[in-house]
Structure 1
Amino acid sequence: MNRLRSLLFDAFFYIGSVPIVLMAPVAAMFGTRPLHGVVRAWLGWHRWCSRAIMGIRVRVEGQPLHGPALYVAKHQSFFETFELTLQLGDPVVVMKRELADIPVWGWAAKRYGLIPVDRTASAAALRQMIRAARAAREDGRPVLIFAEGTRVDPGQMPPLGSGFAGLHKALGLPTVPVALDSARVWPRHGPKRPGTVTFRFGAPLPSDMDRKAVEAAAHAGINALEPPSPASVE
């Protein structure tokens, strides 16, 4: 049954996405406001398909801040890239460069404000990311980064990428860690299944925290919903 639901979701979501995605470059030519409207429509379509077809609900603990902030989130599935963007309201999202290189769509994505970053984390790439994030701050938009760099399975808690600490220092904004457990219903492999995804917004971390302290606090915050290791239980 879950496999059938997953197939139906893929069919409805991706077929329905085609006209929306094709509209994005056209909307981008008329400014950011029309483009943001198209993006919100796409995010809303994803939420509707997730709820109506897959039976996936969302529970939010805590809440985003009012005004610009840096959000650092756990990354377990495709699901939170859509859902968090919808919850935060037109954030700038740090994403892998390969997506920005897609012809036409990549141009519209950068026009929206997405920040492409090279996974090699070169000094030039980090400086470009920081410049783009500062521009987003000046526009009053939040910044979202999945600082683990890639999707991870439940229980995996890799260190945060170096770009996170650089953003925290450069932006001078409070940093909000976001824990989530989307892989329970949206695994990397195999069919999706009904259930509830929890998003937990942690306490804001002050902008003046030093690198080591903010990395440790953010790492603990995004992993707050991870099951304890056997060693910690004993």
Structure 2
Amino acid sequence: MMDLLRSLLFVLLFYPGTLLYVLTVIIVSPIGDAPVQAVVHAWSQFHHWLVRNVLGIRIVWDGAIPDGPFLIAVKHQSMMEAVDTLHFAQCPVVVMKRELTVIPLFGWVTRRYGVIGVDREAGASALRTMMAEARAAVSGGRPVIIFPEGTRVPYGTSPPLRPGFAGLYRALGLPVVPVAHDVGRLWHRGFVKRSGTVHFKVGDVIPPGLKRDDVESRVHAAINALTP
């Protein structure tokens, strides 16, 4: 019952709060990129505060994501880490499904911030677009975050990586920072989120220039380090 009440309160605070942040981005957008990024990062911190203080989810990190130009590969099990990734690094660009970038108002804010929306059904053309936008992000000094499994997966599963990861790795020529977690134990597709402790584990940096099979196997193992 307590988890149900916590989850309900989270929804009642997070979504109206998100609307206020979206409207604020629209207002400050003509001023420039810095104010937009500051508001978006504040939204991510707002979400993080609600996760810890309303849902009662404690977050424990093993290792730290280094600063610099990296391709950060994150296990994807829930909305929680998808939003929290915005403060994993300094003003990261996040690769996300295109559907989120066309939501009224919110989608415009994601594009204004600089996310990379990928149409997973578009095949090679989507990969080319993703790579071009990622190169532009890197040229601007921003790290790139990708969920290499392509979509949310249930806790305890470890599907193969989607082809887009290897293509992006090759195109950008960046080292990879893999991040594993077990958020899906408490936060899944259902409405009720359970309180407790989740763990994030930062793997060893993987150098650029490896063959596809090698980099995929190393990333797959690293992001599933906390998968049973």
Indicate whether the TM-score tops 0.5: yes
Aligned to 2:117: 116
**What are the superposed Cα offsets for residues 86-127 of structure 1, whole Å, 9 maximum, x if unpaired?**
122311000111111223432331121100101125111111
SS at match of 2:95: strand
Runs of 4+ in 1 over 6 A off after TM superposition: none
The equivalent of 1:230 in structure 2 is none
Question: In angstroms, what is the RMSD of aligned CA positions?
Answer: 1.3
5 Å-filtered alignment, 1:37-116, equals 37-116=38-117
Which amino acid in the other structure matches residue 161 of structure 2? L
Question: Does the 8 Å contact 1:25/1:105 carry over to 2?
Answer: no
Q: Which amino acid aligns with 2:227?
A: E
| TM-score with structure 1 setting the length | 0.93
Amino acid of the structure 2 residue aligned with 1:181: D
CA distance in 1, matches of 2:4, 2:154: 20
Q: Is the CA contact 1:24–1:105 (under 8 Å) kept in the aligned structure 2? A: no
Residue 80 of structure 1: how far off its partner (Å): 0.2
SS of corresponding position for 1:29: helix
SS state at 1:60 partner: strand
Structure 2: stretches of 5+ with no match in the other structure: none
TM-score if structure 2 supplies the norm length? 0.95
Contact kept? 1:28, 1:112, Cα under 8 Å: no
Please show how residues 1-234 of structure 1 align to structure 2 within 5 Å: 1-227=2-228
State how far apart, in whole Å, the 1-side matches of 2:192 and 2:38 are.
Answer: 31
For residues 163-202 of structure 1, the C-alpha deviation after alignment (integer angstroms, 9 at most, x for no partner) is 1000100101101111011011212224111112211111
User: Which residue identity does 1:174 align to in structure 2?
Assistant: P
**Percent identity among equivalent residues?**
50
CA distance in 1 between partners of 2:86 and 2:20 (Å):
20
Q: SS of the residue aligned with 1:19?
A: helix
Amino acid at match of 2:97: K
Any conservation in 2 of the 1:54–1:193 contact (CA below 8 Å)? yes
In 1, Cα distance between the equivalents of 2:78 and 2:53?
A: 19
SS in 2 for 1:88: coil
Please state whether the residue corresponding to 2:208 is helix, strand or coil. Answer: coil
Separation (CA, whole Å) in 1 of partners of 2:213 and 2:49: 40
Residues of 2 paired with 1:212 and 1:152: CA distance?
22
Check the 8 A contact 1:121/1:163 in 2, yes or no. Answer: no
8 Å Cα contact 2:75-2:179 kept in structure 1? yes
Conserved? CA contact 2:22–2:105, under 8 Å: no
Q: Hey, what's the Cα distance between the residues in 1 that align with 2:193 and 2:74? A: 21
Preserved CA contact (<8 Å) 2:7 2:191: no
Q: Taking structure 1 as reference, are residues 94 and 131 closer, same or farther at Cα in structure 2, changes over 3 Å only?
A: same
Instruction: State the aligned residue count.
Output: 227
Secondary structure of 1:95's counterpart equals strand
> Which ranges of structure 1 fall in alignment gaps of 5 or more residues?
228-234
